[in-house]
Amino acid sequence: MGGAAALFVGYIMYLWLHGGRGDFVTYKEFGIPIPSNYAIHGIDVSRYQERVSWEAVHQMEVDYIKLGFVFIKATEGTNRTDPYFQRNWKKSREVGMVRGAYHFFIATRDGVEQAKNFVHSVKLESGDLPPVLDVEKTFGIPPAQLRKEVQKWCTYIEGYYGVKPILYTNADFYTVYLQGYLDNYPLWVAHYLQPHQPRITRDWAFWQHSESGMVNGIYGKVDFNVFNGDSVAFRSLLVP
């Protein structure tokens, strides 16, 4: 058997031994299949992960897969702050992880007032990820009104920080309520159990591919994400 053929067979055996499915390889350490054709991996956390040991998170590495970034819940609505945000924000940067903060959007509340809640809590520094708006529920308001308030939040945030925010949503919500709108903002999309990438019709920056991963230093399950690009593209997204 030639060298190239032997390498190919070895790779197939590697996928089989690790429980590979398509472009995914299952790692018992993470507890989930990981999409192997993406180089930059990360997680997102909120109060549900409680007190995180960030040093353990940052040190975890399995077959060259290392968690390089984290999105951290900061605020919700017009007056709520995640009780673990400030600790997570400080400790994740101290260990060397690239961090980003997100706001959970309450569609019945004014977008500008929600943006003010976010900026009151989040002080961005060079090397951080742009702010994120998590919009995944209508709370019963018409789609046009939802998009209007989302746009108000995004406009205020971009004016305050000088960077375009990222929109987070799930694939179904995007298709029904956001498709064809707000396309000038980077997209972070949740779509689980997909073989290659989220099934949406526009470009995306981040993919939340699982909600049930395991990480050293975190009690319970955690969301896993990948970045859609190489290290150069990733660095270009960060706050200058």
pLDDT tens figures, 84-95: 999 999 999 999
Q: Name the catalytic one among 44, 128, 134, 223.
A: 44
* Closest alpha carbon to 166 in 182, 148, 185: 185
The pLDDT of residue 99:
98
Average pLDDT, the chain: 91
Q: Indicate if the pLDDT at residue 102 is higher than 50.
A: yes
Q: Name the catalytic one among 29, 55, 110, 136.
A: 136
Query: Cβ(94)–Cβ(203) under 8 Å?
Result: no
Which whole number is the average pLDDT over 60-66?
Answer: 94
- Residue 44 annotated among the catalytic residues of the structure: yes
Query: In percent, how much of the chain has pLDDT > 70?
Result: 91
Residue ranges of domains in the chain, CATH in brackets: 39-237 (3.20.20.80)
Query: Cβ(83)–Cβ(73) under 8 Å?
Result: no
| Phi, psi angle pair for 225, to nearest 5° | -140, 160
The pLDDT of residue 87:
98
What is the tens place of the pLDDT at every residue in 212-225?
Answer: 999 999 999 999 99
- Residue 94 annotated among the catalytic residues of the structure: no
Which whole number is the average pLDDT over 147-168?
Answer: 98
